[in-house]
A and B are shown apart, each in its own frame.
Chain A
Amino acid sequence: MIELQNASKHYLLGKNVVKAVNSATLTVNRKDFMVITGRSGSGKTTLLSLMCGLTKPTLGRVLLNHVDISTLSDSDLSTIRNRKVGFIFQFPSLIPFLTVLDNVRLPSAFAETKNDDRERGEELLERLGLDERINSYPSQLSMGEQKRVAIARALVNEPDIVLADEPTSELDETTEKEVMEIISEVHKESATVVMVTHSSELARYGSRHLRMVRGILSEK
């Protein structure tokens, strides 16, 4: 499903070259729940971004369903990000001037085929316990609620792969558990999940556990 072949991502920080991901080789199979742990700044987010074409590798290849993403056009890559991948960001990623429901429906705006995204959005929000907040704005929500809205948005186009970047950061223990249960449920329902986190404890939710240290990936 996702294959990294010696993929590296380097970028310039002042005059220094930072090797955020260094020769990562990895295969994510269908229905995997892969957890990648590592300290802050170890390159986890960059790795996740490489997997869904949010950035292109400096070296090596990233294959998505056996297609090298470097060869895809912007339009094709955008379609993949829209239809095949759901991305849960680490930081608050909601558009502040859109309501909760509109934030959830946002990916549908870029979909070529328009489904009944309103119904789907409402259904997801109900499932995530946010049915009473559909007309609220992000600033009126708690951090945990914002995370759940971001999860709903990642799932609205029924993606094959869900990539979650520190989905439980800045959450209290109870909310963390709730969010992890939702992600586990999503995995059970058929999606492939790749989650990166600094918390080793959350590794127990996954079927595979990898570790990242200073841009180097290793199987735990």
Chain B
Amino acid sequence: MGADLIVVPKPTNPWHISQMILGHVIEHPYYMDISIVEKLAEVRGVQKATPQAYAAKLELVAACPCCPTSFSYLIGFEPMSDFIVEPWLRGSSKKLSRTDAVVGCNVAALGTNVVIFDQVLETKQVLEKSGTGLDDMIFITLESLYWLAEESRKLPERVQGHPVLTIAQNQISAVLIRVEPGYSVSDVGTRIKVENMDLRVIYPHTLGQEARERLLSLHTIFLTSNGIMWGLLVVMVGTVFSLIVHERRREIGLLRAVGATRRWVFKLIILEVTLPVVFAGALGILGGVFILRVFGEVTAKSLDVPYLWPDPLYIVGLIASGLALSAATGVLGAIYPAFSSSRMEPYDAIRRGE
């Protein structure tokens, strides 16, 4: 998230923050006064401190009539001190007006309007896809959030199918802190805790732990099963081609009789095995890409983990590695049949092949 520490009111459960990052909508009812930001900025070792306020939206909302949309959170931030949203923007967030919004890529397109509590917000920036909960969030200035909260209270509750925003003027949910270079993050965190007993300090690197652990166990299962399958595949390729070579002993003997060397026969078998295996590997990769395209997001949702397509260059690398692995499978599987067939005496090969 770009912060070294997140400071929240003591009752806030850190798990809520991690769920928010994963894109799960959870009510976030604990707020503190914005004046805490100045206090925290003065703690030794704090380089930057910026406030954020989170307002969960529990149900779908309609945007403009032609483009219905939904979002998970309205996040108010303070453009002057912000160092979290700014790096994701093409321009500066300092120019955002009360009716401007920065949205996650799943929320709305650039330039379109998002209507919340009868107020129209213009989409000034769309964030790059992150594969996390950020994709469903709307970022507005703190001033806009307080204004929208006031507007929500003017409307009869649930008239538009969403609850009233309970946040009051000058309330915030969290202060995000960047630690000065040379200072220990945990020391600064401890200092904040000692000086502010009513606050909770969250270390962001622990927030993704759950998702990481889930992915890691999934990754281990995939790697282990793939490793076992690959081993079996090499054995299977070797066995199948040993049988084929066995059936072709006479042909190999004939080739040796008319001048083929052992090395030539060895290379022939390696090539004959490797080519179809690489072709099959390419087909498998194509099939895999197709399945990922069709079922990737559904699978990610059912496993409850963030999902994002990797960089195209990385995908090219993966495809190349897949093909190289196929070739390696072919070569490894072919070594035994190639070796045994090239070692046969031509006369033996012909006689046994008859």
Contacts and interface: CB of A to CB of B under 8 A. Distances in A.
A55 B347 contact: yes
Contacts of A111: 259
Interface stretch (A32-40, A89-97, A189-197): A89-97
B262 interface: yes
Given A91-B354, A95-B251, A110 B347 contact: no
A79 B259 CA distance: 6
Contacts of B346: 49, 54-55, 81
Contact of B264 (A46, A95, A110): A110
A75 B342 CA distance: 12
A46 B347 contact: yes
A93 B354 CA distance: 10
Contact of B259 (A46, A56, A107): A107
Interface in A18-69: 45-46, 49, 52, 54-56
The binding surface of chain A is classed by DSSP as helix
Contact-residue bracket for chain A = 20 to 34
Interface in B59-79: none
Given A89-B350, A95-B251, A110-B264, A78 B256 contact: yes
Contacts of B351: 45
Interface string A101-143: 0000011001100000000000000000000000000000000
B254 A89 contact: yes
Given A46-B347, A55-B347, A110 B257 contact: no
A81 B345 CA distance: 13
A74 B345 CA distance: 10
Interface in B234-281: 251, 254-264
A198 interface: no
Contact of B345 (A56, A87, A106, A153): A56
B257 A87 contact: yes
A107 B258 contact: yes
B118 interface: no
B27 interface: no
Q: Identify which of B255, B263, B346 gathers the most chain A CB atoms within 10 Å of its CB.
A: B346
A146 interface: no
A82 interface: yes
Contacts of A45: 351
A54 B259 contact: no
Interface string B17-44: 0000000000000000000000000000
Contacts of B261: 74-75, 78, 110
Across the A-B interface, the 7 shortest Cβ-Cβ residue pairs: A82-B259, A110-B259, A55-B347, A49-B347, A54-B347, A107-B258, A78-B261
Interface of B: 251, 254-264, 345-348, 350-351, 354
Interface of A: 45-46, 49, 52, 54-56, 74-75, 78-79, 81-83, 87, 89, 91, 93, 95, 106-107, 110-111, 153
10 contacts: A46-B347, A54-B256, A54-B257, A55-B348, A74-B262, A78-B256, A78-B260, A91-B354, A110-B261, A153-B258
